[in-house]
A and B are shown apart, each in its own frame.
Chain A
Amino acid sequence: MLRVDERVEVSVDRVGEPIGFWWRGAGYLVKSKPIRWFARREWWIEAARVQRGIGAGVLEVEMWRMSASSNNKDKAQYELVHTLDTSGGQKHIWRLVRVYD
């Protein structure tokens, strides 16, 4: 397993499921139905504030796991983290966190 933590650009379909992403200059196509779940964060280590109403985003993140491949590589499992940047508009942020060969 390869741990990474890099921003990636992701294309999603109508219901928000990833269909492909660009990572280190290469395009990857999703080959399986992506699985989504929610994982937790250790906010007591990371967060600056947890006041009432701050929202569950401090505590949990949306995760996606899918198999994907690029032109010149074999298929592998990729895990992405999806967050919303609420500071300016509702910007989707995707980060690649794990790759399973």
Chain B
Amino acid sequence: MSGFIHLNVASAFSGHFGVTRPERMVEAAAAQGVQAAAITDRDGLYGAVKHIGACLQLGISPIVGVNLAILDDAGNQLGRCVILAHGNNRGLGWAKLCKIVSVAHALPKAVKKQVGIARSALADLLRDEGGCTVLLGPDSDVGLEVLAANRSGAIEALEAWRECLRTPGTLAIEIVSHITEPGTELSVLQARRMLQLADATKTPAVLTNAVRYLEPDDALTADILDSARHLEALGLFKPQPNAQAWLKPASMMQSLAVEITEDRDRALELFSTTAKLAKLCALDAVGDCDWGRPKTPEKAALGIEGNPFEVLWQKAHAGIDRFYPRANDSLLTQVKHRLGQELITINKLGFATYFLTVADVAQMIRDMGIRSQARGSGAGSLTNYLLGISGVDPIEHDLLFERFLSVERSSLPDIDIDVESARRHEIYRAIFKRYGSDRVTLLSMQSTYRGRGAMRDSGLALGLDDEQIDEIAKNMWRFSARSFRGALQTKPELAKFAEEVEQDRRMSLLVDITERLDRLPRHISMHPCGVILGDISLLRRTPVEQSGLGLPMSQFDKDDMDPMGLLKLDVLGVRMQSAMAYAIREISRVSGKEIDLDAVPRDDAATFRDIRTTNTLGIFQIESPGQRELTGKHQPTEFNDLTIQISLFRPGPMKGNMIAPYLDGRHGFAKPDFIHKDLEPILRETWGVVIFHEHVIRILNQMTGCGLAKGDELRRSLEKPRIKPQIETFFRNEAAKRGYSKEVIERVWSVIEGFSSFGFCKAHGAAFALPTYQSAWLKTHYPTEFIAGLLTHDPGMYPRRLLLSEARRLGVKVLPVDVNFSTDEYLVEPITRKTLDANEPQIGVRLSIRDVQSISDAEVARIIENRPYKDTADFYLRAKPTRRTLENLALIGALDGLAAAEVTRGDVLARVRQLNAIKNRKAMNANQPTLDFSVLETMPTGNPESSKQDRVQAELSILKMDISEHVLELYRPMLDEMGVLRSDELVGLRSKTEVLVAGVRVATQTPPMRSGKRVVFVTLDDGVGCSDSTFFDEAQSRCSHILFNTRLLVIAGKTRRTGVRGVSLMAENAWDIRDLWEQWINKKKTPLAG
């Protein structure tokens, strides 16, 4: 007996059951010297593709099955079984398995929460053709009868199964022993009786170890996953019996077999039956799963006739007139030549249908009137531009097709389309409708445990208090939870927790199990944007389950697409696209002007002037504190500058120290160094700095003559340490042959060698730069409409109150919530001018009632429907708000418009409380036929006007926005006395001036730094703008208690000039404004002591 193939192996992709990732499990199996390895996840094939890929890489056969709950026709539980697909039958077994899993996820509504398959449905699927083997193990109904020592019950249960699964090879008994206490589940005794039953009924029996983890040590992690699955603390549910469910080697499985059978020959037979079933189930990845063969919708599904390539050729050429209407001859020649080259490549790869499919979807989206924009390397393709998929001209922006697609690679390219996020579900539904739900499914994704999530579920397992966990989780910033214990020593904000860990055993356990959970799969959900488009065979290749959206979703994730030859289209909802579409709609609605944003010239001077002020809040991609700072230094003047800036502000270029030399070159502080005159045309745009993938490809091509396609292959291989030396040799030899000096070769190699992980795809940057420019253009020319769009669709990283701050700064008129005018959106509203001052704005943004705290959608709808209201009582009677909503609306002044001008906010509130009291009375006496109208008619008078402070507080707590004035104004007397500067005063200061700034925290970031040390950036808004402060180690430990959590801050630091308009603060200390305020107030109260 040599080698033992485990046929029941749950991986970490089994919904909090298995512990080990498939790749590791397969590696271990291969190391045990077996010829095949199985994966049998619970409820799905979530890990199957990764498993198959790992097996192929190690040259062993993949076996795939599923572990499912079985039900009888009345919906009663028949335990769980493993179902294994048979292989080498041209996909029959695999298709059956996919179908079984899909059916198990489509139980009728009554049992919807549950995943499982009716035995009769299973029998129907396996009748005649077979294709799978069902293993009846210790968890099956048969196993449970055996455990109860009910021999006749067990025989009856088994007979029922044999009745259902008559096709030979579809049924076997699974013998498992985890050497538990005699007579209990998974004991030797249960296994022995199962075997006796199998022998008595002549049912084949196989041995497994019902594996949940690779090594015994992992059993501890399994305990925690059990807790997460049960949603209960350890000790409150029945735990696994011991730590035996690991991938035992053949020798141990052999001892188990002997212990169970007490008969060496029977043990041998058990081994050989197991090996036989393994052989039957060994899959041929290509033959069975159609591994790696690209699948696209059939011609008929796309509505095309004839040769797809000819259709593509015509469609693309037809685009030339449309997109290059005024092109001169030389440009036309260039366009036609490039298009020809691209089409030849596409034809060679056989991807014509793929491009037609994407073009078809893009056209469909346009026809729906939804804004869209291709992103990623696809923007480098002229074909995509001419088909209307991408909006960026690759010739104008000098983008390379080869970065996107080449004959050197045969994997399906990725084309991602950004669309208005608010309408993306409409698009998904339309795609399903257009191509049919047998060719389309959504893509899923597996989220994994990261720091805080791992900590929360660990806390649950230990039965720790939620609040306590939240408190600790709040201070987990930018470190891998895998090294949690190490972080305790080095992170100042964890110091308090570190002390608890020393003293409290449970806290110490919390750290250990958080480390264990980190990076394990957590749960499956709908991928935010992926749609799989396949041919009619799609549902035979992938199992599907219902997504949260109600549409079917594949159990495979994005990494599984390429191996399975599935075409994934990313239709990504981008809120900025929604915000821009909204702004354009409002411009048209209020002023009647129709704007074609995509046709706006991309060289508007006013737009770039505004960008250069660094007031970029709300602008796509460049509104973050870091991008603002970079904008100040960079001072972009044209579209390509935006492409460069977006590409520079990435972890790679920052780590690779590319920003400083680029800026030095641009501002003339240093002479650009192109290394060799041949490289000057390639690197002129970035002053000699290699930033883009396209740069590397061109340099390799220039110096070795390898061609652009090969150049991209070489570039990709630079990231693979094993292949890199070959590339180096190739580069050095070829460059030398072309006469480049040793010194030049040396220098260029050192640049591109270090580049691999740093650079950015220019096409991607250019695709991003388009909405950046478009949003900046809207902000410059239509600030009111743009702010309305931002407030409605909330696209950025900042809270809404900061947008309001920005609106104030821009002079955009903000109109308060008013029940007669506000809707569920932030509408642009014409203002009737009270004065003749031409500078007064003619339009303003009316705040929405949608964001009033605790208001319901039904209330919003009722309020809008019953307008207008003539007074508060009328509103109360017809809009029927809850008492809480009515009072909230009064508190933020939304009812002020219903009362006469002289009525105070205090009067309105008193009125509302009167009305609310009626409700109370009515509830107490249901028989009272009519309302007490005397109350309805009297308006209280003489109540004081509410103070500014009260108003701002009410606005903040009810709308999360300070509308009347900036919240900081409340503290202004103290701040003035302290000498706190306003953020717009900083830009006029010299470097290293000691200052105090204050504000509301709007962003906290800990970007990766070149040194590896952690740096914390805090951005404060003080009503006139934002200030950015940098906390290094020392400052971090000085104010660790407020570094991440306090909202209102005063920061002391030194100014640091970073460019023409760039200034930031090196923080030295920070305080909570409210603490300072308390001290200040107390000091004011206490008379000076003698």
The reply to whether A37 and B512 form a contact with Cβ atoms under 8 Å apart is: no
Contact residues of B between 280 and 300, Cβ < 8 Å to A:
none
The reply to whether B217 and A53 form a contact with Cβ atoms under 8 Å apart is: yes
The reply to whether B485 and A51 form a contact with Cβ atoms under 8 Å apart is: yes
Q: Which of A42, A43, A45 contacts B220 (CB 8 A)?
A: A43
The reply to whether A54 and B220 form a contact with Cβ atoms under 8 Å apart is: yes
Contact residues of B between 194 and 250, Cβ < 8 Å to A:
216-217, 219-220, 223, 234-235, 239-244
- The distance from the CB of B1088 to the nearest CB of chain A, in whole angstroms, is 57
Q: Which of B216, B219, B234 contacts A44 (CB 8 A)?
A: B234
Per the bound structure, the CA–CA distance linking A50 and B216 in Å amounts to 13
The reply to whether B181 and A60 form a contact with Cβ atoms under 8 Å apart is: no
Interface string of A3-21 (1 = CB under 8 A from B): 0000000000000000000
Per the bound structure, the CA–CA distance linking A59 and B220 in Å amounts to 7
Q: Does B180 contact A (CB under 8 A)?
A: yes
The reply to whether A42 and B242 form a contact with Cβ atoms under 8 Å apart is: no
Kindly list chain A residues whose C-beta atoms are within 8 Å of the C-beta of B220: 43, 50, 54, 56, 58-59
Kindly list chain A residues whose C-beta atoms are within 8 Å of the C-beta of B216: 55-56, 60
Q: Which of A40, A54, A65 contacts B240 (CB 8 A)?
A: A40
Instruction: Name B213's closest neighbour in chain A (CB-CB).
Output: A56
Per the bound structure, the CA–CA distance linking A40 and B242 in Å amounts to 5
The reply to whether A59 and B243 form a contact with Cβ atoms under 8 Å apart is: yes
Instruction: Name B509's closest neighbour in chain A (CB-CB).
Output: A50
Q: Which of B462, B505, B515 contacts A48 (CB 8 A)?
A: B505
Per the bound structure, the CA–CA distance linking A57 and B747 in Å amounts to 56
Q: Among A43, A50, A58, find the residue whose CB has the most chain B CB atoms closer than 10 A.
A: A50
Q: Does B182 contact A (CB under 8 A)?
A: yes
Kindly list chain A residues whose C-beta atoms are within 8 Å of the C-beta of B182: 35, 37, 65
Kindly list chain B residues whose C-beta atoms are within 8 Å of the C-beta of A52: 217, 512, 515-516
The reply to whether A59 and B242 form a contact with Cβ atoms under 8 Å apart is: yes
Q: Does B717 contact A (CB under 8 A)?
A: no
Kindly list chain B residues whose C-beta atoms are within 8 Å of the C-beta of A40: 239-243
Contact residues of B between 497 and 533, Cβ < 8 Å to A:
505-506, 508-509, 512-513, 515-516
The reply to whether A44 and B461 form a contact with Cβ atoms under 8 Å apart is: yes
Per the bound structure, the CA–CA distance linking A40 and B179 in Å amounts to 12
Q: Does B187 contact A (CB under 8 A)?
A: yes
Per the bound structure, the CA–CA distance linking A53 and B485 in Å amounts to 14
Kindly list chain B residues whose C-beta atoms are within 8 Å of the C-beta of A58: 220
The reply to whether B243 and A51 form a contact with Cβ atoms under 8 Å apart is: no
Kindly list chain A residues whose C-beta atoms are within 8 Å of the C-beta of B505: 48
Instruction: Name B181's closest neighbour in chain A (CB-CB).
Output: A37
Kindly list chain B residues whose C-beta atoms are within 8 Å of the C-beta of A49: 508-509, 512
- The distance from the CB of A96 to the nearest CB of chain B, in whole angstroms, is 17
Kindly list chain A residues whose C-beta atoms are within 8 Å of the C-beta of B508: 48-49
Q: Does A47 contact B (CB under 8 A)?
A: yes
Contact residues of A between 42 and 83, Cβ < 8 Å to B:
42-45, 47-56, 58-60, 63, 65
Q: Which of B243, B506, B516 contacts A38 (CB 8 A)?
A: B243
Per the bound structure, the CA–CA distance linking A58 and B178 in Å amounts to 17
Q: Does A39 contact B (CB under 8 A)?
A: yes
Interface string of B863-883 (1 = CB under 8 A from A): 000000000000000000000
Q: Among B178, B181, B188, find the residue whose CB has the most chain A CB atoms closer than 10 A.
A: B181
Per the bound structure, the CA–CA distance linking A43 and B239 in Å amounts to 12
Per the bound structure, the CA–CA distance linking A44 and B458 in Å amounts to 11
Q: Does A95 contact B (CB under 8 A)?
A: no
Per the bound structure, the CA–CA distance linking A53 and B217 in Å amounts to 6
Instruction: Name A51's closest neighbour in chain B (CB-CB).
Output: B512
Q: Which of B180, B461, B485 contacts A37 (CB 8 A)?
A: B180
Kindly list chain B residues whose C-beta atoms are within 8 Å of the C-beta of A51: 485, 512, 515
- The distance from the CB of A81 to the nearest CB of chain B, in whole angstroms, is 13
Per the bound structure, the CA–CA distance linking A87 and B88 in Å amounts to 53
Per the bound structure, the CA–CA distance linking A37 and B512 in Å amounts to 28
Q: Among B187, B223, B462, find the residue whose CB has the most chain A CB atoms closer than 10 A.
A: B223
Sorting the interface of chain B by its residue count into under 10, 10 to 19, 20 to 34 or 35 or more gives: 20 to 34
The reply to whether B242 and A55 form a contact with Cβ atoms under 8 Å apart is: no
A54-B217 contact given A44-B234, A49-B508, CB 8 Å threshold: yes
The reply to whether A38 and B242 form a contact with Cβ atoms under 8 Å apart is: yes
Per the bound structure, the CA–CA distance linking A59 and B513 in Å amounts to 13
Per the bound structure, the CA–CA distance linking A59 and B219 in Å amounts to 8
Per the bound structure, the CA–CA distance linking A60 and B178 in Å amounts to 12
A56-B179 contact given A42-B235, A43-B220, A50-B513, CB 8 Å threshold: no
Per the bound structure, the CA–CA distance linking A51 and B517 in Å amounts to 11
- The distance from the CB of B24 to the nearest CB of chain A, in whole angstroms, is 13
The reply to whether B181 and A39 form a contact with Cβ atoms under 8 Å apart is: yes
The reply to whether B509 and A44 form a contact with Cβ atoms under 8 Å apart is: yes
Instruction: Name A61's closest neighbour in chain B (CB-CB).
Output: B242
Kindly list chain B residues whose C-beta atoms are within 8 Å of the C-beta of A44: 234-235, 461-462, 506, 509
A50-B235 contact given A37-B181, A43-B220, A59-B220, CB 8 Å threshold: no
Kindly list chain B residues whose C-beta atoms are within 8 Å of the C-beta of A36: 179
Instruction: Name B461's closest neighbour in chain A (CB-CB).
Output: A44
Instruction: Name A79's closest neighbour in chain B (CB-CB).
Output: B181
Kindly list chain B residues whose C-beta atoms are within 8 Å of the C-beta of A54: 217, 220
Kindly list chain A residues whose C-beta atoms are within 8 Å of the C-beta of B239: 40
The reply to whether A56 and B217 form a contact with Cβ atoms under 8 Å apart is: yes
Instruction: Name A54's closest neighbour in chain B (CB-CB).
Output: B217
Q: Which of B188, B243, B485, B513 contacts A60 (CB 8 A)?
A: B243
Q: Among A47, A52, A53, find the residue whose CB has the most chain B CB atoms closer than 10 A.
A: A52
The reply to whether A50 and B512 form a contact with Cβ atoms under 8 Å apart is: yes
Per the bound structure, the CA–CA distance linking A55 and B244 in Å amounts to 12
Q: Among B223, B239, B243, find the residue whose CB has the most chain A CB atoms closer than 10 A.
A: B243
A55-B181 contact given A38-B242, A47-B509, A50-B512, CB 8 Å threshold: no
- The distance from the CB of A32 to the nearest CB of chain B, in whole angstroms, is 12
Kindly list chain A residues whose C-beta atoms are within 8 Å of the C-beta of B188: 37
Per the bound structure, the CA–CA distance linking A50 and B188 in Å amounts to 29
The reply to whether A37 and B179 form a contact with Cβ atoms under 8 Å apart is: yes
- The distance from the CB of A63 to the nearest CB of chain B, in whole angstroms, is 7
Per the bound structure, the CA–CA distance linking A73 and B178 in Å amounts to 35
Instruction: Name A48's closest neighbour in chain B (CB-CB).
Output: B505
Kindly list chain B residues whose C-beta atoms are within 8 Å of the C-beta of A59: 219-220, 223, 242-243
- The distance from the CB of A44 to the nearest CB of chain B, in whole angstroms, is 5
Kindly list chain A residues whose C-beta atoms are within 8 Å of the C-beta of B181: 37, 39, 63
The reply to whether A60 and B462 form a contact with Cβ atoms under 8 Å apart is: no
Kindly list chain A residues whose C-beta atoms are within 8 Å of the C-beta of B223: 43, 59
Instruction: Name B223's closest neighbour in chain A (CB-CB).
Output: A59
Per the bound structure, the CA–CA distance linking A40 and B626 in Å amounts to 53
Per the bound structure, the CA–CA distance linking A59 and B509 in Å amounts to 14
The reply to whether A55 and B217 form a contact with Cβ atoms under 8 Å apart is: yes
Per the bound structure, the CA–CA distance linking A90 and B506 in Å amounts to 29
- The distance from the CB of A1 to the nearest CB of chain B, in whole angstroms, is 14
Per the bound structure, the CA–CA distance linking A63 and B179 in Å amounts to 10
The reply to whether A38 and B179 form a contact with Cβ atoms under 8 Å apart is: yes
- The distance from the CB of A12 to the nearest CB of chain B, in whole angstroms, is 17
Per the bound structure, the CA–CA distance linking A56 and B243 in Å amounts to 6
Per the bound structure, the CA–CA distance linking A58 and B662 in Å amounts to 57
Per the bound structure, the CA–CA distance linking A58 and B235 in Å amounts to 15
Q: Which of A37, A43, A48, A65 contacts B187 (CB 8 A)?
A: A37
Per the bound structure, the CA–CA distance linking A55 and B240 in Å amounts to 16
Per the bound structure, the CA–CA distance linking A64 and B435 in Å amounts to 64
Kindly list chain B residues whose C-beta atoms are within 8 Å of the C-beta of A48: 505, 508-509
Per the bound structure, the CA–CA distance linking A39 and B178 in Å amounts to 10
The reply to whether A38 and B178 form a contact with Cβ atoms under 8 Å apart is: yes
Kindly list chain B residues whose C-beta atoms are within 8 Å of the C-beta of A53: 217
Would you give 19 A-B contacts (Cβ < 8 Å), ordered by A?
A37-B180, A37-B187, A38-B178, A38-B180, A42-B234, A42-B235, A44-B234, A44-B461, A48-B505, A48-B508, A48-B509, A49-B509, A53-B217, A54-B217, A56-B219, A58-B220, A60-B216, A60-B243, A60-B244
- Ranked nearest first, the 6 interchain pairs of A and B with the lowest CB-CB distance are A56-B216, A56-B243, A38-B242, A60-B242, A51-B512, A60-B243
Starting from the known contacts A44-B509, A58-B220, 17 additional A-B residue pairs (CB-CB under 8 Å) come to A36-B179, A37-B179, A38-B178, A38-B180, A38-B242, A47-B509, A48-B508, A50-B220, A50-B509, A50-B513, A51-B515, A55-B216, A56-B216, A56-B217, A56-B220, A56-B243, A65-B182
